[in-house]
Structure 1
Amino acid sequence: MASTTVEPAGPAPLTRGAALAHPLRAHTWRSALAVDLSKASYAVPLRVGMAVGLVLICGGLTGLHDIAGFAALGTLISAFCRAEPYPVRVSRLAALGTAVVVSIGVGGLVGLSGGALTTEIVAISLLSGAAAVFIGALRAAGPGAVVFVFAATAAAGFVHDLTDLWRSVAAAAVGAALGMAASLAPWLLAHVRRRLTGGPALDDAAPVAHAPVRQLLAGAMQRHLLATAGRTMIAAAVSAVIAAAAGFSHPMWAAMGAVAALQGVDFHLTVSRGIARLLGNITGAAIAAALLAVPLGYWGAVAAIIVFQVAAEITAPINYAICSTAVTPMALLLTALGAGLGPAAAVDRVVDTLIGVVVGIVVAALTVSAGTRPDPLR
């Protein structure tokens, strides 16, 4: 009689109670601080930094300091799709650039309507859900939906009339075009060289099979994407309401913290990213407070933004806490270009992020899928 082999059972599905306890485990915090230097890269981060720097420098030279930040937000699409073949990137980057411009338009309309906090919370929360679905359907690896929420929030605080609206939207469109060009630069230069010398161009040796953007977006109504959108909208709205009720000056920063925390592909990554973002915000806020306390001026702020942006892009795959340490002063300085911020804004950033991270993790834990299984190494 043949013997039968009984496979050991895998770990039991993660319950809501275990999910809520997971952020309190020591290993969870250690994993958030893990550093993997093998994932470091420099070419893409430098191109992103150059794109951001170029629009900020042009904004300074032309006297358009107030809208240069919106152009810089547009260039951030160059941080997406860095692993995709160049022919695949073209349509995806175009879609991402359009999304940034639309996000700024939505935020601008909120500002144009009078900028009531309730209106802003509802609009930005709905936008965060739409952005989560969009990024998920497009399968665009990169900074995530938080970029679009940041863009909309910045526009809501900036736009007061139709002139502000079209200027901010136009600046974002210019920045998105430049960001797309920065991402595709090696491929475009290779085509130029081929025309001049007759040599081969990059990625032209064989056709690249990929789903077109229209087909990807047609599948946006998948159940798991809609569930992600629902969690993101709820967490963003609840975080902003709590921050507003507590009297903080920038409650939508709490919404951004929640959206960033929920960008993980599973619950464990959500927790890890949330902890890393919180720790990074604390150290980054200390740096930002010091910089905001001294008279950097426009050009000093631009130099610092470029350095922090490149550092964030280099460290993003290495360790998210280090990345957040660079992102926090970069975001605050970028906001200060048009709105003006003092050192106290750095403290607000930390507290708002804490609210967003906690709410994001709790929402993720309460809505954890019954089939989710814990990491056996944890």
Structure 2
Amino acid sequence: MQRSLITPHVRVRGAALQHVVSPTTWRDALRLDFSRTSVAAPLRVGVAVGVVLIVGALLGLRDLAGLAALGALVSAFCRPDPYPVRAPRLIALGIGVTAVIAVGATMGTYANSIVTEIVVTAVLAGIACYAVSALRIVGPGAVIFVFAATGAAGYAHSAADIGRATLASAIGAVIGILIALAPWFVELLRSRLLKSRTHDAASKTAPAQRESIWVTLAGGQAPAHRKHLAVTAIRIAIAAAIAATIAVAIHLDHPMWAAMGAVAAMQGVEYHLTVRRGVQRLLGNLGGAVIAGILLAVPLGYWGAVAGIVIFQVLAEILSTVNYALCSLAVTPMALLLTGLSAGLSPEAAVDRVLDTAIGIVVGIVVAALAVRGHDIAALHGHAANAPLADAEPELSQPNSASNRSRS
């Protein structure tokens, strides 16, 4: 009797793991989709990041410019949303990334063990995943918040550093929000200047539907969906903790990169998206690590690094809707150059990035497979049969779960 109960579970999880090596999975991972490519929004993200890095250097605050740039990355979120909907979401994200950097800086200052860092980072990852998915936010996803916390932890060594890091990220977030909403501000100004056209435009355009962020965050009137998101967030937190622990056990220098690898792979709510993202992220990181290793070996200096960060950030945003592997190809050198602004990374860090990412991806896929449900397997078969175009879910532009997803 007991064996008959166990066998179906073993079969389901075996089928889930088998999907990892399925030719369909790898074909999906390599499929390109140019139908939703845009340039204007990626350029705005690049401008936001570039502005804070340049201003930070001119003010003699190069060590804080990287944290401000992490705050400015909120400009990469919510690209498909109407501006009236996007504005409050970006503000909420700005507050969130600032809070995460404050927590990360506090952790870097006061945490006296790697265990504490792993636990705090994993909890932050779970909370961020739930919030981003519940709010149906399209963009880089929760991995940005983990990246921000890790960066702040590496920077801060005193109580004063906590305040500086928090203020820098808040300023960066404000700049990112203003630049992301710049077209809306221009349109509002134009409408005010052309009052005669304002009434006509208002009559032709249906107002965007709005919902309180707190209502959305609580899951609205769908407790089953809310529970599913909470369970997914817990799984992601567990995977992040396991991945970081393994990285520590084998003496890798940047164990939180492994946690980020697990989070990035598992950001998609559906299992087949977790597998595809894992494959794409691994392929992208391999290529990106080669690029990053070359750049880290060259004496770029601060301004050369800034130019590289902006270029790769814009490329990542453009490629985010084309293919996540290509997006990761650009994200990897961008992230390492940004980290190197304050940490002074060597070319060997690129190798660490690949190893940490591989650990995170493997752990993420295994945890997802162990927690997979029967209807997820049915969805896998349906997905393979239909072979749909890849819903690109990039790290720096990824849909997180529900509604208008196909773009972190």
Same fold by TM-score, threshold 0.5 exceeded?
yes
For the 8 Å contact 1:103–1:151, the answer to whether it is kept is yes
How far apart, in 2, do the equivalents of 1:189 and 1:136 lie? 30
1:190 is matched with 187
* Equivalent of residue 127 in structure 1, options 105, 124, 128: 124
For the 8 Å contact 2:319–2:327, the answer to whether it is kept is yes
Quote the offset at 1:375 in angstroms: 3.6
Residue type of the alignment partner of 1:212: S
How far apart, in 2, do the equivalents of 1:377 and 1:299 lie? 46
Of residues 107-116 and 134-143 in structure 1, the stretch that sits farther from structure 2 once superposed is 107-116
How far apart, in 1, do the equivalents of 2:279 and 2:35 lie? 22
Counterpart check, 1:295 vs 2:292: no
Counterpart check, 1:239 vs 2:243: yes
Matches within 5 A, 1:53-68: 53-68=50-65
1:18-54 per-residue CA deviation (whole Å, 9 max, x = no partner) reads 0011111122111101101112111110100110011
Quote the offset at 1:210 in angstroms: 2.2
For the 8 Å contact 1:258–1:360, the answer to whether it is kept is yes
Cα 1:105/1:202, change in 2 over 3 Å: farther
1:92 is matched with 89
SS in structure 2 opposite 1:210?
Answer: coil
1:175 is matched with 172
For the 8 Å contact 2:232–2:269, the answer to whether it is kept is no
SS in structure 1 opposite 2:139?
Answer: coil
Which ranges of structure 2 fall in alignment gaps of 5 or more residues?
Answer: 1-10, 385-408
TM-score (norm 2): 0.87
SS in structure 1 opposite 2:181?
Answer: helix
1:267-295 per-residue CA deviation (whole Å, 9 max, x = no partner) reads 11110000000000000000000000011
SS in structure 2 opposite 1:273?
Answer: helix
Residue type of the alignment partner of 2:216: L
2:33 is matched with 36
Which ranges of structure 1 fall in alignment gaps of 5 or more residues?
Answer: 1-13
1:10 is matched with none
Quote the offset at 1:211 in angstroms: 1.5
How far apart, in 2, do the equivalents of 1:149 and 1:202 lie? 45
Quote the offset at 1:203 in angstroms: 8.2
SS in structure 2 opposite 1:45?
Answer: helix
1:290-313 per-residue CA deviation (whole Å, 9 max, x = no partner) reads 000011000000000000000000
For the 8 Å contact 1:194–1:201, the answer to whether it is kept is no
For the 8 Å contact 1:146–1:260, the answer to whether it is kept is yes
2:74 is matched with 77
How far apart, in 2, do the equivalents of 1:240 and 1:68 lie? 27
1:200 is matched with 198
SS in structure 1 opposite 2:35?
Answer: helix
For the 8 Å contact 1:191–1:202, the answer to whether it is kept is no
How far apart, in 2, do the equivalents of 1:51 and 1:88 lie? 20
- Identity score, percent: 56
> How many residues are matched?
365
1:5 is matched with none
Matches within 5 A, 1:150-299: 150-198=147-195, 199-200=197-198, 204=202, 205-219=205-219, 222-299=226-303
2:49 is matched with 52
How far apart, in 1, do the equivalents of 2:311 and 2:33 lie? 21
For the 8 Å contact 1:87–1:203, the answer to whether it is kept is no
How far apart, in 2, do the equivalents of 1:95 and 1:77 lie? 10
Counterpart check, 1:15 vs 2:12: yes
Quote the offset at 1:115 in angstroms: 4.8
How far apart, in 2, do the equivalents of 1:43 and 1:284 lie? 24
For the 8 Å contact 2:111–2:117, the answer to whether it is kept is no
How far apart, in 2, do the equivalents of 1:197 and 1:66 lie? 45
1:376 is matched with 382
How far apart, in 1, do the equivalents of 2:33 and 2:201 lie? 29
Counterpart check, 1:140 vs 2:111: no
Counterpart check, 1:308 vs 2:305: no
Residue type of the alignment partner of 1:239: A
For the 8 Å contact 1:130–1:229, the answer to whether it is kept is yes
How far apart, in 2, do the equivalents of 1:178 and 1:355 lie? 35
1:7 is matched with none
Cα 1:350/1:201, change in 2 over 3 Å: farther
Quote the offset at 1:163 in angstroms: 1.5
How far apart, in 1, do the equivalents of 2:161 and 2:200 lie? 41
2:399 is matched with none
How far apart, in 2, do the equivalents of 1:202 and 1:23 lie? 54
For the 8 Å contact 2:130–2:229, the answer to whether it is kept is yes
For the 8 Å contact 2:192–2:198, the answer to whether it is kept is no
How far apart, in 1, do the equivalents of 2:24 and 2:175 lie? 42
1:216-266 per-residue CA deviation (whole Å, 9 max, x = no partner) reads 122287210111111101100000000000000000000000000001131
Residue type of the alignment partner of 1:302: V
1:24 is matched with 21
Cα 1:99/1:202, change in 2 over 3 Å: farther
2:350 is matched with 346
Cα 1:177/1:203, change in 2 over 3 Å: farther
Residue type of the alignment partner of 1:331: A
Residue type of the alignment partner of 1:219: G
